[in-house]
A and B are shown apart, each in its own frame.
Chain A
Amino acid sequence: MLACIPTASLFGVDADPVTIEVQVHAGLPCTTVVGGPDATCREAKERVRAAFASCGFEWPNKRVTINLSPAWQKKRGSAIDLAMAVGILLASDQLPVGSITGYAFLGELGLDGAVRPVVGVVPLAEAAGGDPLVVPAAQVVDARLATSRVVGVGHLGDLVRALKGEAPWPLPLSPTPPPRPPPRPDLADVRGQAVARAALEVAAAGGHHLLLTGPPGGGKTMLAERLPGLLPPLTPGEALEVTKIHSAAGVLPVGAGLLDEPPYEAPHTTASAVALIGGGSSQLRPGAISLAHRGVLFLDELGEQRPVVLECLRQPLEEGVIRIHRAIGSATLPARFLLVAAMNPCPCGEGGDHRCRCQPVERLRYARRLSAPLLDRFDLRLHVPRADPEQLLGEAGGEPTAAVAARVATARRRAAARGTSVNALVPGSRLDELAPLDRAARRLLAGLLARGGLSARGLHRVRRVALTLADLGGVDPPLTEEHVGTALGLRAELATLQAAS
């Protein structure tokens, strides 16, 4: 007879509903899996067969055809194991017809019949639906984020007894909360660095990308790590979106529940393009830029990144998504992140200082590795000098994260009240309306434009930053000379930063 069991399969950061069709019919004993399975799906029948043996179920001594419908779509992963097992049990009359009406199943099977956690349980649960949805016991918390009626099972035998009504459903595991992530580092640890602190605050308030240059040991990484703490907590909708991405990438700890803090991703310089951007040949996994969605992406040593990787960043920076095209299909993955990049001014890092061992030509060549269009996308650019020892030892810590985050939240509310999202995304065509300039500010910018010190695009970026400064100051536009002057001061000329003669 034929059994149809709903489950789901992962694609990119989303999952597609899949129906496992099992037909047990006359013929030579043989089991075939059809319908676009990848290697893991094809192996599922071996796992299920071994689990049957462990649990004392009977493998039908007939021809078994398993179809993963819709058949044209590539399926991947082990989450279909449980649905396949239930389908075979049903088709071979080991489960009563009607016992699973409305059910959907997600879970990987161990050879002993244990139901194990799967990668991407949040998007999978959303796609599979089911009333109820059966998931691995350890992932009930995660699956409930996407759908309400969820039951968890730890073993195939328990599941079958519960479906037959022979035993009650296993009680939901008293969730062992996963270890809380260590608290975010606090801005109070940063001593001095008034300009860099101001830049962090503006970046958080307006969603402006930030480029930090300077010698090693200046605290670029330390500053970047403290930016996520300044961002407002995620809204429930955003939190689910972020949790889904992390779940699909397999980096969400089992049973972690909702991620409600802005994520922070700091891929290593040697990360491949696929690890950073997402993709892969057999599956479309989200990369670091999608994991940083609604949070902060920190790219250290920007000058050491491969140019192709950097050019891949331009689309997400512009559109907030990354479109990946591969032989197995194409996917659009969310990637709306706040980019913080750090770079040394030259290969040795000292940047023309008397300690610098680089030839001027080497410095020029290093500076040219980054394309002007990419560097132009940073609204905030500043040099972080090495802190002087007196400051490190003597000065008291600065304002704590909580105080700055409160100002950021107020500024963001002001921006939201104008009906736009963060200021960095205000379209250029609306700047005249939303960020008008007073007379002195206009004169300052006009002088700069006339001298060729600012491009048209640079002008837009300076006005957006100035608008954020006004929001932080609690002032309504028109923008003053001080707002514009500060915005210009926080966006250093590239030539100045690279300090090459």
Chain B
Amino acid sequence: MSAVVAGRPRAAPPAEAYLAALAGLAGMGPRRLGALLEVHGDPAAAWSRVVAGAAAAEPEVAGTLGRDPAARAARWAVQARAVEPEELAARHRAAGVTLLTPWHPAWPARLLDDPEPPAMLCTRGDPAALAGPACALVGTRSCSGEGRRTAHDIGRDLADAGVAVVSGLALGIDGAAHRGALAAGSGAGGPVGVVAGGVDVTYPPSHAALFHQVAAAGALVSEAPLGTPPERWRFPARNRIIAALADVVVVVESHDRGGSMHTVDAAVERGRTVGAVPGPVRSPASAGTNALLADSALVVRDAQDVLVALGLGRAPLSGPAPRVGEPGPPLDGADAAVLDAVGFAPTTTDDVVTAAGVGLGAALTSLHRLAAAGWVDAGPGTWSRRADAPR
């Protein structure tokens, strides 16, 4: 097949150009794209069908298009007419973004037998980062200080051991895991960021710098082409790719519902090992992870536990070393009494004062000293004890 553009014969654009154009349409999820490709066999044919506004003509496709398939097909046609696949592919090349397709040599082996694989992966950075052992570190966006530090440390130690940290670059645990991976030494495993929109669309905006760092040290991937806005439905779809690209999925902190639980469902569907970091039983941010542990998820206390699950490390004979910080100066009596009154779950200042049996001023002063020395974390009107506090 050849196309004539501006009077000069030219080779037809490669299939990935059509895949990218298709994947960038509003509401084009994996199921719909899968149905289109299944019916038409070839991305170019599917694309011409969409441009013609006849995407809903085949019942196999129409069945995936919701309540009003004709309207959806019409909207796609309008959007598609403004897109030139070859020009879109050229934009990717110019931006140094690789369009990975299943027939590309760098296509991750983990996706070959995936029940719902992405049709293509738009990859910024080094596609080789998708090849080695990988662990997904995910969790809630509203995490505790303890959760953030745990995600950071596990991310750093896994990267040091050469494991790619896969995560979603969201606020909270995701970002902390990636920051940890980036803090690892040289020769570390490159982080893999899986984002919902195009890899050039930073969401959340405050993570713009983190996007660049992850792309520079590892790879930033998305099943949507450049410029795609992160529509709501793309986040759960993104979570399945996180699960698919990892050998082990570890939830660091999660409320009893939320995006991390989608990732866990996707991991279970794909037979991936699911791990969870135990948390205080009364902390809402650990309700989901503790429930996973009750469901016999792998107990993850540190990177070593993950490495054992990956077959990369040996379980220490005498159990893991206790994860406590450096010995600190001994606490004086008043500070020790106040520290005793602070729980690992957030405790209100009033409760600390009552339990410690000291005056308000003395309690606040002790709490300030304890926070400065790394014994406790300050929350809104609350305090919680740090697990990695000095001894």
Contacting residue for B381 out of A198, A361, A385, A484, CB 8 A: A385
For B284, the chain A residues whose CB sits under 8 A away are 353-354
Q: Are B172 and A382 in contact (CB under 8 A)?
A: no
Q: Are A501 and B148 in contact (CB under 8 A)?
A: yes
Q: Are B362 and A198 in contact (CB under 8 A)?
A: no
Q: Are A486 and B381 in contact (CB under 8 A)?
A: no
Q: Are B206 and A364 in contact (CB under 8 A)?
A: yes
Distance in angstroms between the alpha carbons of A501 and B379 in the assembled complex: 11
Q: With an 8 A cutoff between CB atoms, is B368 at the interface? A: yes
Q: Are A383 and B206 in contact (CB under 8 A)?
A: no
Q: With an 8 A cutoff between CB atoms, is B79 at the interface? A: no
Distance in angstroms between the alpha carbons of A195 and B381 in the assembled complex: 9
Distance in angstroms between the alpha carbons of A410 and B285 in the assembled complex: 46
- Known: A195-B360, A360-B142. Contact between A488 and B368, CB under 8 A? yes
A453 CB, nearest partner CB in chain B, Å: 8
Distance in angstroms between the alpha carbons of A383 and B380 in the assembled complex: 6
Most buried by A among B348, B369, B378: B348
Q: Are A499 and B379 in contact (CB under 8 A)?
A: yes
For A453, the chain B residues whose CB sits under 8 A away are 372
Q: Are A482 and B381 in contact (CB under 8 A)?
A: no
**B residues 331-345 in Cβ contact with A at 8 Å:** none
Distance in angstroms between the alpha carbons of A453 and B374 in the assembled complex: 14
Q: Mark A460-489, 1 if CB is under 8 A from B, else 0.
A: 000000000100000000000111111011
Distance in angstroms between the alpha carbons of A462 and B354 in the assembled complex: 25
Contacting residue for A489 out of B141, B348, B364, CB 8 A: B364
Q: Mark B150-192, 1 if CB is under 8 A from A, else 0.
A: 0000000000000000000001100000000000000000000
Q: Are A447 and B360 in contact (CB under 8 A)?
A: no
Distance in angstroms between the alpha carbons of A30 and B363 in the assembled complex: 81
B294 CB, nearest partner CB in chain A, Å: 18
The main secondary structure of chain B at its interface with chain A is helix
Q: Are A198 and B360 in contact (CB under 8 A)?
A: yes
Q: Are B143 and A501 in contact (CB under 8 A)?
A: yes
The segment from A142-150, A228-236, A314-322, A490-498 that touches chain B is A490-498
In this complex, how many residues of chain A approach chain B with their Cβ under 8 Å: the count is: 44
Contacting residue for B204 out of A198, A361, A481, CB 8 A: A361
Q: Are A360 and B172 in contact (CB under 8 A)?
A: yes
Q: Mark B283-304, 1 if CB is under 8 A from A, else 0.
A: 0110100000000000000000
Q: Are B379 and A194 in contact (CB under 8 A)?
A: no
Distance in angstroms between the alpha carbons of A481 and B364 in the assembled complex: 11
Q: With an 8 A cutoff between CB atoms, is B25 at the interface? A: no
Distance in angstroms between the alpha carbons of A447 and B373 in the assembled complex: 11
Q: Mark B8-34, 1 if CB is under 8 A from A, else 0.
A: 000000000000000000000000000
Interface residues of A (CB under 8 A from B): 192-195, 198, 213-214, 345, 351-354, 356, 359-361, 363-364, 382-385, 444, 447-448, 451, 453, 469, 481-486, 488-490, 492-493, 496-499, 501
Interface residues of B (CB under 8 A from A): 141-143, 148, 171-172, 204, 206, 255-256, 284-285, 287, 348-350, 353-354, 360-369, 372, 378-382
24 contacts between A and B (CB under 8 A): A193-B350, A194-B349, A194-B353, A194-B360, A195-B353, A195-B381, A352-B142, A356-B142, A360-B142, A363-B142, A384-B381, A385-B350, A482-B365, A483-B361, A484-B365, A485-B361, A485-B364, A485-B366, A486-B364, A488-B364, A489-B365, A490-B364, A501-B143, A501-B171
**Besides A352-B142, A489-B349, A492-B378, 10 other CB < 8 A contacts?**
A195-B364, A354-B285, A360-B204, A385-B380, A453-B372, A482-B362, A482-B365, A485-B365, A489-B365, A490-B364
